[in-house]
A and B are shown apart, each in its own frame.
Chain A
Amino acid sequence: MSATKMYLLSVHMVEGQEPPSAETMQTMYQDVDVFNKKLQADGAWVFAGGLLPADVATVVRTQPDGKVLTTDGPFAETKEHLGGFWVVKAADLDAALALAAAGSKACQGPVEVRPFQDDTAEL
């Protein structure tokens, strides 16, 4: 099957959790870098990035009257926030899950796999 789908592989950070040691961070960066290069080489890569902590986020909301309300802080009042993500192309869910497993190993955390809508434009 040549048809491919796009999936979001997202990594979630839990607020208040002790940050990993500098050494672990170093390994993590290296492993993620290797994983990213492999995604690119295999043609699965669309986009990826790590985010700064959610406490520097800002939410912009259009009110019913058309005015824009700007507030400090993340959208969701949860302890878990998006920490980074990959957007990948994969033949099917099994292929995406295999990529997610490799990504999870590299970034040393759980990875959520979510399909994009079918008509999502490819970059």
Chain B
Amino acid sequence: MSDDRAHDEQPAGRRETERVFREEYGRCVAALIRFLGDIDLAEEAVQDAFTVALEQWPQRGLPPNPGAWITTTARNRAVDRLRREASRQDRHRQAQQLIDATTATPEERAAEEGPVSDDRLRLLFTCCHPALAPAAQVALTLRLLGGLQTAEIARAFLVPEATMAQRLVRAKRKIKEAGIPYRVPREAELPDRLKGVLDTIYLVFNEGWNASAGEALVREELCAEALRLARVLVELMPDEPEAVGLLALLLLTHARRAARTRADGTLVLLPEQDRGRWDHAEIAEGQTLVRACLRRGAPGPYQVQAAVNAVHSDETLDQRRRWEQILALYDLQLRLAPTPVVALNRAVALAEVSGPDAGLAAIDALREPLAAYQPMHAARADLLRRLARIPEAADAYREALELTTNETERAFLESRLAELG
């Protein structure tokens, strides 16, 4: 698909349109997909509408409700296009659907739409359907809800644009041909499916947060996009404590972005970070959300992770009290989700509360299940270093380095290894 937005010559109008595009794209595409029953047609129609906007808005100014204007224009464009092409077999069914949609009574439409009037939620659940591969879920979510161009997504994931285009085409084809429904799952399926949506948003954030290669700008954009999606989800499902937990976790993590690397790009560990450089507005918002969801008494993995991060940024506690609370939170999470990774996090907290010996014993019990997990080796190396077991620490650093792909992290581990002498 051509990107006509690039040809606009009026920078002011273009910037304004870009902003609307960013804010409204997901909502417009989601509405059009429901109307047209087809993702490609919906994208085409919304792109068309933004092209019209670029022609008209610089002269006439923004309409009062730009999002509604785009949706209406896109709908009219799609209807025109389908009328022109109605004789073609593949478009015939879609034309019929449009006629059906326009003749349905408001009651019929309300019944079809269900209790949730914002189509973005449907779209989010469709993009994150478990029948799609996780990489495809992430790509589709960024494309359809975030309005990112295929090239941007490809850059963020360090794959050739053609590969990413192929991945998107295949995912969209599967949605259509396998009959993945365009709706919010029923009550019984909702917990599992919501977890899939949360995991996808978290994956988008992590990709931006952890990738060391690639352009800094694209990576920051991924983090911002994940935050935006988490906000949309909380706005649409305010009663889901895990959704609130995810938003809080992302805010509390994102708040530390300016403090986590030095000017030369090297990594600063949490205890050594300059707390003055944290984003205190995001911390305050994250902490308020953590308190709100803990009051509901329905803890889940994202809420516990968020609570751990809220404790890390709690200025009223000293270091020791912080680690005691974090250990208690990991005990809780271990009961909720007894996985080796959670056990590793708990072991790290245990080392801070009861000493490196105790932490190391707990980690050693995890060496087999986490043999391929870099953070296990890095944490083990650190504890061995603190216990002055130098040769073993050196071996553990080397094992960690072998599994490290992130350049910032590599530099950090190498410097620690060198300091061992």
Q: Measuring CB to CB, which residues of chain A are less than 8 angstroms from any residue of chain B?
A: 5, 90-94, 96-97, 113, 115
Contact = CB atoms under 8 A, between A and B. Distances in A.
Given A92-B181, A96-B179, A97-B131, 18 more contacts: A5-B179, A90-B179, A91-B179, A91-B181, A92-B179, A93-B129, A93-B131, A93-B178, A93-B179, A93-B180, A93-B181, A94-B180, A94-B181, A94-B185, A94-B189, A113-B178, A115-B177, A115-B178
Interface string B186-203: 000100000000000000
A123 B24 CA distance: 46
A93 B177 CA distance: 9
Interface of B: 129, 131, 177-181, 185, 189
Contacts of B178: 93, 113, 115
A97 B131 CA distance: 9
A58 to B, nearest CB: 32
Nearest to B186: A94
The prevalent SS among residues of B at the interface is: loop
Contacts of A93: 129, 131, 178-181
A94 to B, nearest CB: 5
Nearest to A115: B178
A5 B129 CA distance: 18
A35 B189 CA distance: 21
Among A5, A90, A93, which residue has the most Cβ atoms of chain B within 10 A? A93
Contacts of B129: 93
Nearest to B188: A98
A91 B178 CA distance: 11
17 contacts: A5-B179, A90-B179, A91-B181, A92-B179, A92-B180, A92-B181, A93-B129, A93-B178, A93-B179, A93-B180, A93-B181, A94-B180, A94-B181, A94-B185, A97-B131, A113-B178, A115-B178
A8 to B, nearest CB: 11
Contacts of A94: 180-181, 185, 189
Ranked nearest first, the 3 interchain pairs of A and B with the lowest CB-CB distance are A92-B181, A92-B179, A93-B179
The prevalent SS among residues of A at the interface is: mixed
A94 B181 CA distance: 7
Among B178, B179, B181, which residue has the most Cβ atoms of chain A within 10 A? B179
A35 to B, nearest CB: 19
Contacts of B181: 91-94
B131 A115 contact: no
A5 B181 CA distance: 12
A97 B193 CA distance: 13
B354 to A, nearest CB: 44
A87 to B, nearest CB: 15
B89 to A, nearest CB: 11
Nearest to B175: A93
B31 to A, nearest CB: 18
A122 to B, nearest CB: 16
Contacts of B177: 115
A81 B177 CA distance: 25
A94 B180 CA distance: 7
A119 to B, nearest CB: 11
A117 B131 CA distance: 18
A98 B189 CA distance: 10
Contacts of A97: 131
B188 to A, nearest CB: 9
A41 B189 CA distance: 23
A94 B131 CA distance: 9
A91 B129 CA distance: 16
A93 B174 CA distance: 10
A112 to B, nearest CB: 12
B182 to A, nearest CB: 9
A53 B179 CA distance: 32
B192 to A, nearest CB: 11
B105 to A, nearest CB: 17
A97 B192 CA distance: 14
Contacts of A115: 177-179
A89 to B, nearest CB: 11
A48 B131 CA distance: 23
A10 to B, nearest CB: 14
Among A90, A91, A97, which residue has the most Cβ atoms of chain B within 10 A? A97
A93 B126 CA distance: 11
Nearest to A96: B179
B4 to A, nearest CB: 33
A122 B179 CA distance: 17
A113 B131 CA distance: 10
Contacts of B179: 5, 90-93, 96, 115
